[in-house]
């Protein structure tokens, strides 16, 4: 590997449609405080990306996303002991852009498989600084790395951003806009100033906005018992590190693939059996996977489900109109209790129906949604005051589901879709992550989905593989 070189890309002034002129700071709402976490993305390409065009694209991206060059700030609230305000200081600090070359590589492709979830993204993902999650440290919140693999001259693009910048949905929007600026350059800025809809036509995404977050009622302690805020409570950084290290040492990753035909059969079977309303593809995959965990001998009582609430309760006055495009964290974990049952006593359709019911309640009932979010906001704020982070590791009887099934993470940068791949890392014990699979030649995007999670070492993975093989054979015979 040749030496790593880092240059710094200057930020562009915000476009007139992004922020009011003279804006120097943007508040971070308590519900969006997730400083000890990142959105990590790596993309592979069969040929070299143009370094100069990529540098220009990064600069242009900052003109519509000024928090990328900002800094995380915490200030004590005057006259209120123990109270703080959090914000982005819009310093327009240059963006670290590193490049490296890997020589004598045996293959143009950098990973052992084309699976989305990899065990590590090293050395292709640039790290954020060691204190990026601590306020007032002048640490970058967004970094980019371009790797060239020789002698094939293939490229790997790594993008790392603090979760303060946004959730996974915002991370995807960022990547799509970076691709747009790479392919079309300055012409995009002209389009933005003339007609924002032209950006949507070209990228499929609207520009990020930087207004207010959801207005939440004051926190009431009893809401913790009703809505469970365990995923928002802060923990010491060393405890987080030890928890994740223990998981990696004692568990192993498993990935299952389903195609859309198999998912449709699952939906048809369970919707007909349960006589319920519409179930989504993710609903039935969640039900099937949770029952798989129980068939492996793990009794599941609680489902921790990541929900984007950008489109929940949209007519309620607490929800600002630009929440769908807000450059912030607009995702939270909802705890869903399964009804009392014996081991493997619920079928996938029953579980899927319970999950769907809980999500529909959040979509339509602000008397549930706003207290749920208020509890999370309270604990996130307390954790940020103490410089602590969250541990999303399942205890006994818990599973965790974080799905990107509707998000097309695949960017081409001018190549054919099957020539490029998207990757990220990290999952945990009974922690399900779902992604659209990297497409094969001649295959439409989203035709296959991947379910990635970890199981205890010692034979459980082999047992799961046998169960999956039997289930998929039954679907094939239907």
Q: What is the CATH number of the domain that holds 145?
A: 3.30.559.10
User: Two tokens at 156?
Assistant: 């790997």
Does 200 have pLDDT greater than 70? no
pLDDT band (50, 70, 90) for residue 259: very high
d(CA 292, CA 298): 9
Do 291 and 175 share a domain, yes or no?
A: no
* pLDDT score for 207: 86
Percent of the chain with pLDDT over 70: 95
pLDDT band (50, 70, 90) for residue 84: very high
Do 125 and 273 share a domain, yes or no?
A: no
* pLDDT score for 11: 97
The answer to whether residue 271 sits within a structural domain is yes
d(CA 43, CA 380): 31
Do 159 and 254 share a domain, yes or no?
A: no
pLDDT digits (tens, 9 = 90+) for 301-319: 999 999 999 999 999 999 9
* pLDDT score for 204: 63
- Given a contact cutoff of 8 angstroms between Cβ atoms, the answer to whether 338 and 300 are in contact is yes
pLDDT band (50, 70, 90) for residue 274: low
d(CA 4, CA 445): 34
Do 32 and 69 share a domain, yes or no?
A: yes
User: Two tokens at 402?
Assistant: 């974080």
pLDDT band (50, 70, 90) for residue 293: very high
Residue identified by tokens 């052992």 is 112
pLDDT band (50, 70, 90) for residue 352: very high
For 310-412, where are the alpha helices, taking DSSP H only?
Answer: 348-364, 366-385
Q: Render 34-56 in DSSP notation, one character per residue.
A: --S-EEEEEEEESS---HHHHHH
Do 301 and 364 share a domain, yes or no?
A: yes
d(CA 152, CA 150): 5
In the chain, the number of structural domains is 2
- Given a contact cutoff of 8 angstroms between Cβ atoms, the answer to whether 237 and 389 are in contact is yes
* Overall average pLDDT of the 167-189 stretch: 92
* pLDDT score for 2: 66
* pLDDT score for 189: 77
| Percent of the chain that is helix, strand, coil (3-state, to 5) | 35, 25, 40
d(CA 99, CA 127): 13
The answer to whether residue 44 sits within a structural domain is yes
- How far is residue 230 CA from its own chain's centroid? 19
pLDDT band (50, 70, 90) for residue 22: confident
pLDDT band (50, 70, 90) for residue 141: very high
* Overall average pLDDT of the 454-468 stretch: 96
Do 315 and 439 share a domain, yes or no?
A: yes
pLDDT band (50, 70, 90) for residue 229: confident
Do 262 and 166 share a domain, yes or no?
A: no
Range of the domain at 310: 223-477
* pLDDT score for 199: 64
pLDDT digits (tens, 9 = 90+) for 389-432: 887 778 889 999 999 999 999 999 999 999 999 999 988 899 99
Do 182 and 228 share a domain, yes or no?
A: no
User: Two tokens at 105?
Assistant: 């590589």
More confident residue, 206 or 373: 373
Does 463 have pLDDT greater than 60? yes
The answer to whether residue 309 sits within a structural domain is yes
Do 290 and 169 share a domain, yes or no?
A: no
Single out the residue in 142, 168, 203 at which a domain terminates: 203
Single out the residue in 170, 203, 236 at which a domain terminates: 203
d(CA 372, CA 366): 9
Judged on CB neighbours under 10 Å (0-12, 13-18, 19+), 194 is exposed
Q: Is the peptide bond before 70 cis (omega within 30 degrees of 0)?
A: no
Single out the residue in 157, 174, 203 at which a domain terminates: 203
Does 193 have pLDDT greater than 70? no
Does 244 have pLDDT greater than 80? no
Give how far Cα 416 sits from Cα of 44, 162, 362, 424, Å. Answer: 12, 30, 39, 20
Does 177 have pLDDT greater than 60? yes
pLDDT band (50, 70, 90) for residue 196: low
d(CA 383, CA 37): 13
More confident residue, 255 or 226: 255
The answer to whether residue 215 sits within a structural domain is no
**How many residues can be counted in the chain?**
478
* Overall average pLDDT of the 465-473 stretch: 96
pLDDT band (50, 70, 90) for residue 203: low
Residue identified by tokens 């568990």 is 251
Do 397 and 291 share a domain, yes or no?
A: yes
Rg over CA atoms, the chain: 22
Do 43 and 182 share a domain, yes or no?
A: yes
* pLDDT score for 269: 87
Mean confidence (pLDDT) of the chain: 92
């Amino acid at each position: 590997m040749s030496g790593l070189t880092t240059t710094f890309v200057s930020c562009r002034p915000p476009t007139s449609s992004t922020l009011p002129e003279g804006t120097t700071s943007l508040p971070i709402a308590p519900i969006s405080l997730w400083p000890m976490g990142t959105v990590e993305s790596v993309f592979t390409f069969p040929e070299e990306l143009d370094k100069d065009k990529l540098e220009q694209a990064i600069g242009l991206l900052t003109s519509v996303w000024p928090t990328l060059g900002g800094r995380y700030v915490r200030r004590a609230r005057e006259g209120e002991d123990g109270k703080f305000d959090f914000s982005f200081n819009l310093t327009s600090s240059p963006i670290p852009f590193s490049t490296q070359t890997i020589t004598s590589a045996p293959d143009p492709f950098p990973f052992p498989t084309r699976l989305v979830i990899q065990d590590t993204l090293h050395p292709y993902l640039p790290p954020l600084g060691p204190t990026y999650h601590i306020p007032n440290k002048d640490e970058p919140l967004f970094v980019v790395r371009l790797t060239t693999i020789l002698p094939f001259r293939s490229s790997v693009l790594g993008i790392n951003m603090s979760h303060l910048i946004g959730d996974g949905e915002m991370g995807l929007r960022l990547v799509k806009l970076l691709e747009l600026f790479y392919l079309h350059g300055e012409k995009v800025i002209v389009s933005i100033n003339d007609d924002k809809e032209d950006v949507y036509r070209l990228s499929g995404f609207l520009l990020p906005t930087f207004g207010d977050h959801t207005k939440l009622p004051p926190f009431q302690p009893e809401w913790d018992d009703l809505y469970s805020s365990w995923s928002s409570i802060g923990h010491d950084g060393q405890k987080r590190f030890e928890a994740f290290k223990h998981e990696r040492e004692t568990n192993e990753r498993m990935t299952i693939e389903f195609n859309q035909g198999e998912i449709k059969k699952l939906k048809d079977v369970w919707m007909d059996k349960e006589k319920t309303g519409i179930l989504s593809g993710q609903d039935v995959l969640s039900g099937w996977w949770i029952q798989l965990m129980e068939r492996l001998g793990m009794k599941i009582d609680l489902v921790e489900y990541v929900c984007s609430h950008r489109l929940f309760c949209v007519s309620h006055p607490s929800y600002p109109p630009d929440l769908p495009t807000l450059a912030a964290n607009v995702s939270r974990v909802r705890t869903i209790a399964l009804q009392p049952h014996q081991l493997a006593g619920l079928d996938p359709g029953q579980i899927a129906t319970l999950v769907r019911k809980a999500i529909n309640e959040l979509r339509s009932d602000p008397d549930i949604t706003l207290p749920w979010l208020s509890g999370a906001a309270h604990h996130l704020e307390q954790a940020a005051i103490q410089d602590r982070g969250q541990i999303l590791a399942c205890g006994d009887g818990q599973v965790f589901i974080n799905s990107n099934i509707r998000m097309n993470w695949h960017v081409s940068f001018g190549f054919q879709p099957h020539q490029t791949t998207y990757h990220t890392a990290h999952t945990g014990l009974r922690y399900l992550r779902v992604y659209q699979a990297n497409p094969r030649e001649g295959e439409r995007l989203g035709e296959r989905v991947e379910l990635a999670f970890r199981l205890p070492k010692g034979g459980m993975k082999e047992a799961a593989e046998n169960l999956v093989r039997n289930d998929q054979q039954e679907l094939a015979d239907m």
